Amino acid sequence: MKRKARLLTIVALSLAGSLQGGPAAGESTPATSADTAIAAAIANPARPAADREQDAVRRPAEILAFLGVAPGQHVLDAFSAGGYYTELLSSLVGPKGEVIAYNNPPYAKFAAKGIAARYADDRLPNVRQVTAEVDELELPPRSLDAALFVMSYHDMYWRPADGSWARTDPMQMLRKLHAAMKVGGVVVVQDHVAAPGGDVAAVVDKLHRIDPAIVKRDFKAAGFVLEAESDLLAHPDDDHTLGVFDPKIRGRTDQFVMKFRRPGP
């Protein structure tokens, strides 16, 4: 069911309002406040034009609502590349929050021009850029409220023949992330759907896709629980056989969106 988690949240808030007599006249519910903040972040005139051109395909309002970031929070944008989502998260967490824009060296090199433009003149002062290989990444314990992987988790399994990408260990990344998450913190993963079966690295190398079951397996093994899934970016016409950069399917790939939570204690 599309946006099932979002709908459940809205229902829960409605019930809570009914039990308490509802909000006073002119008072916003939490859901309304969050939606307004997201809309304002997307409409921010300071956003680059190139970002705005991607909004119709990326659907950031729904993705950010699914993530549920609030002012003052600390968020990791994992493999943030040029920072499309970093900029939006920066607006949402506000001056008392922080966004870590994490890239490994290959991601940073690939997106160097966009990164330079994004952070020129300290235009996003609550963003901290971190560039390090996964095995060198340091995240303070219980410091993060949320994290986001957008079309990047599959790269943890990428093994290019030219050696341009250091071999990464997905479980090492997730163990570090689990330790860094506050109890109740959430991680949203959005990625291109691969058909089940086959060697994961081979599928990623050929298609830049990943089987959703692999992601669920990894997060469960790292101690996270799957809280919700959304078919917001599902494209049933995609048969999962083409590489994501193929002109026949680029921008219209079938994508999954999952939310995992770090349980207590």
DSSP helix/strand/coil, 7: helix
Take residue 133 and report the two structure tokens written for it: 């290989």
pTM for this predicted structure:
0.87
Take residue 161 and report the two structure tokens written for it: 């023949």
Q: State how far the Cα of 233 lies from the Cα of 214, in Å rounded to an integer.
A: 19
Is residue 226 within 8 Å of residue 242, measured between CB atoms? no
Is residue 117 within 8 Å of residue 48, measured between CB atoms? yes
Rg (CA), the chain: 18
**What share of residues in the chain are helix, strand, coil (percent, to 5)?**
40, 20, 40
pLDDT at 199: 95
Is residue 63 within 8 Å of residue 96, measured between CB atoms? no
Residue 52 CB neighbours (<10 A)? 13
CB within 8 Å of 113: residues ≥ 6 apart: 82
Q: State how far the Cα of 99 lies from the Cα of 28, in Å rounded to an integer.
A: 26
Residues of the chain with pLDDT under 70: 1-31
The values of phi and psi at residue 91, to 5°, are: -65, -40
Is residue 102 within 8 Å of residue 77, measured between CB atoms? yes
pLDDT at 12: 36
Take residue 80 and report the two structure tokens written for it: 């943030």
* Exposure string for 154-187, b = 16+ CB within 10 A, e = fewer: bbbbbeeeeeebeebebeebbebbbbbbbeebbb
pLDDT at 216: 98
Q: Where are the alpha helices (DSSP H) in the chain?
A: 4-19, 30-43, 49-52, 55-58, 60-67, 84-93, 105-110, 112-118, 170-180, 200-207, 212-221
CB within 8 Å of 213: residues ≥ 6 apart: 196
Q: State how far the Cα of 180 lies from the Cα of 140, in Å rounded to an integer.
A: 6
pLDDT at 11: 31
Nearest to 148 by CA among 28, 1, 259: 259
